[in-house]
Amino acid sequence: MTHDDTAPVYGSAVTKVEPFGVDHIPDNERHGKPSSQFFVWFAAGLNFPIILLGFSAVGLGLSFGAAVAAIVVGAGLGSLLMAVMSRMGVRLGVPQQIQARGPLGFFGNFLPVAYINVFAGVGWAAVTVILGGKAIAELTHLPFWLCGLALTLVELVVSIYGYNMINFLQRVLTYVLTPLFVMITVVALVRGAGTFGADPKAPDYVGSTGGWITFGGWFLSFLVAWAPFASDYSRYLPDSPRVVSRTAWYTGLGNFVTICWLGILGVLLGSSATSSDSITALHQLTGPFAVPALIAIGLSALAQNFLNVYGGAISVQTLKVPVTRTQAVTLICALAYGISLWGHSGTEDKFSVFLNLTAYFIAPFATVLLLDYHLGGRSDPSRIAELYDRGRVLSWGFVAWGGGVVASVPFWQSDLYTGPFASAYPHAGDLSMFVAAAAAAVLYLLTYRLRPLWVRDVPATPGPRPEKAAAVTGS
């Protein structure tokens, strides 16, 4: 089932194009240290919109202590989720999207992956191109379309090189971005830390309890959105108990530190910046230090989009679209750039909407994967072949995922749609994500011992292998 040559095809070479797509990574290709996961996720979390989310605490009716507690709880739960899912990548050696074929079925996995990973991956890549492109345009006075194109081309090249290049650059960006974001923190606090008090007249005011749930849920949602990609960046690590454990700790820590840091900074600055536009707010907070701050925002767009583009490309291949990973990367970049040209006005106002809508679908998806791994026996590497078996068309996990999404609809709170429960009880806060996860868990527990919904006989096919050999048929 695996490529068993003694000498690795890819190994740890940074400047070699990754030959694997959605393939299982064999033992001879396993390499790297668990600490790499800290740099991958720490760099990706250095994200100015997290600061903007923190601004919302006052309008939601929270005290400073309550807002900080909500961020810590939301970031803690999200980091725990990411930690556990990154362990799965080390153990199984396959992307998270492929793992979902286990509980959902080979083709049952298509719908959630198409929405959760491809749609969300393209959407997040576009949002990030917009924010980074606007920062570079402000810095250089070049047109947005050119700045966005430059960012997209860098993301394209790096994502084509793949796993090793991304890990290397995330480490470099961590060292470059950390002092820049420390500078933003210090300057913004010196210039702008103002008085903090809940504003009951704010349009988003929902009271302390509902506001706490909604506010903490936003920070949890940010990490839930990464969950379908967690294993993508740990699947090359050697499979040993020590590596599995340390990978979880490094992944969780990398996510937790950045989300808490920037979220709490946003709370402290909530009364200092009056604009929801990222660039305007950045100028208000950093003043004469805006130039290095803009550089930080432009570079942080790369740290986020390396992961969005790479993960989105793997998702395209999971859907059995007959393309190589390089072609899938090109497709994701082209779509994200086109969307960024179309929608670069008012992006920040849509940020929380997109954040919530993706979380409503991802929360039950992640729940089903976790339960299947720990209760359904999916942690057994001898069952990896099932993930590539087209005869397992549809399994009950798809029902659990879909049922979780449907159960959450009455609780949705979005500018696009507000459910009947949310309309009747706005002070309860946004419970959608939690309802979706709970409903999916119940449905999974009721059905996971049942036979798959649809199994068919298909001709035996060779196991997954490097793309150079599999480019025609895919894996």
pLDDT in tens, 316-360: 999 988 899 999 999 999 999 998 898 766 555 555 566 677 889
Over residues 399-420, mean pLDDT: 93
- For residue range 304-327, what is the model confidence (pLDDT) as tens digits? 999 999 999 999 999 988 899 999
In a domain, 114, yes or no: yes
Structural domain includes residue 12: no
In contact, 298 and 289? CB cutoff 8 Å: no
Lowest mean pLDDT among 78-82, 117-121, 137-141, 388-392: 117-121
Contacts of 173 (CB under 8 A, 6+ apart): 43, 299, 300, 302, 303
Enclosing domain of residue 111: 27-470
Residues 388-426 as b/e (b if ≥16 CB within 10 A, e otherwise) read beeebbbbbbbbbbbbbbebbbbbbbbeeeebebbeeeb
What is the per-residue pLDDT for 469? Answer: 37
Is residue 8 assigned to a domain?
A: no
* Distance of alpha carbon 86 from alpha carbon 376, whole angstroms: 18
| The predicted structure's pLDDT at residue 117 | 80
Per-residue pLDDT at 272 exceeds 80: no
3-state secondary structure of 413: strand
Domains contained in the chain, number: 1
Question: pLDDT at position 276, please?
Answer: 65
18 lies in some domain: no
Percentage above 90 pLDDT, the chain:
68
Q: Give the rounded distance of the alpha carbon of 153 from its chain centre.
A: 21
Closest C-alpha among 299, 429, 235 to residue 419: 429
| The pLDDT of residue 462 is above 60 | no
pLDDT tens profile 164-186: 999 999 999 999 999 999 999 99
What pLDDT, on a 0 to 100 scale, did the predictor assign at position 364?
A: 97
In a domain, 10, yes or no: no
Q: Write down the pTM of the prediction.
A: 0.91
Q: If phi over 0 gives left and psi between -120 and 50 gives alpha, with beta otherwise, what is residue 189? A: alpha
pLDDT at site 5: 53
**CATH code of the domain containing 55:** 1.10.4160.10
Helical H segments across 287-324, by residue range: 290-318
Spatial CA neighbour of 291 closest among 129, 135, 132: 135
User: Any idea of the CA torsion for 129, 132, 137, 139, to the nearest 10 degrees?
Assistant: -170
Question: Given this model, what pLDDT does residue 257 score?
Answer: 98
SS3 category, 247: helix
Alpha carbon dihedral 92, 96, 98, 104, in 10-degree steps, equals: 110
Q: Give the residue-averaged pLDDT of 97-124.
A: 89
| Residues 434 and 137 sit within 8 Å (Cβ to Cβ) | no
Over range 432-458, report the average pLDDT.
95
Token pair for residue 71? 């961020």
pLDDT number for residue 374: 95
Amino acid 263 reads G
Structure tokens at 153: 């081309």
Looking at residue 63, its pLDDT comes to 84
The mean pLDDT of the chain is 88
Q: Does residue 77 surpass a pLDDT of 90?
A: yes
Mean pLDDT, rounded, for 378-383: 93
Q: What is the CA radius of gyration of the chain?
A: 22
Handedness of CA 281, 285, 288, 292 (dihedral sign): negative
Report pLDDT for 274: 67
Torsion of CA 271, 277, 282, 288, to 10 degrees: -110
190 pLDDT exceeds 50? Answer: yes
Output the CA–CA distances (angstroms, integers) from residue 434 to 49, 56, 164, 169, 412, in the order listed.
23, 21, 35, 35, 11
Residue 174, in any domain of the structure:
yes
**pLDDT value, residue 51:** 87
Residue 475 banded pLDDT, cuts 50, 70, 90: very low
**Higher-confidence residue: 471 or 166?**
166
Residue 1 has pLDDT above 50, yes or no: no
The answer for residues whose C-beta is within 8 angstroms of residue 89's C-beta and 6 or more apart is 95, 96, 230, 231, 232, 233, 234, 235, 237, 247
CA 287 to chain CA centroid, Å, is 31
For residues 289 and 415, which has the higher predicted lDDT (pLDDT)? 289
pLDDT at 64 over 50: yes
Per the model's pLDDT, the better-predicted residue between 395 and 426 turns out to be 395
- What is the average pLDDT across 65-92? 96
What is the average per-residue pLDDT within 16-43? 95
pLDDT the model gives residue 119? 82
Residue 71 has pLDDT above 50, yes or no: yes
Let me know if residue 2 belongs to a domain: no
Q: 191-212 burial by CB neighbour count: b if 16+ within 10 A, else e?
A: ebeeebebeeeeeebbbeebbb
- Domain assignment of residue 390, yes or no: yes
Which range is least confidently modeled, 41-50, 262-271, 379-388? 262-271
Task: Return the pLDDT at 85.
Answer: 97
pLDDT interval class at 28 (50, 70, 90): very high
Across-strand partners of 132? none
Per DSSP, the three-state class of 392 is strand
Could you tell me the pLDDT band of residue 62, with boundaries at 50, 70 and 90?
A: confident
Residues 6+ apart with CB under 8 A from 240: none
Task: Please give the structure tokens belonging to residue 41.
Answer: 């996720």
Residue 472: its pLDDT value, please? 30
Q: Residue 395: which residues within 8 A CB-CB, separation 6 or more? A: 102, 103, 104, 105, 108, 452, 453
Which pLDDT score, from 0 to 100, does residue 207 have?
53
Q: What is the pLDDT of residue 271?
A: 67
**Count, residues in the chain:** 475
Give the tokens for residue 75.
Answer: 């970031």
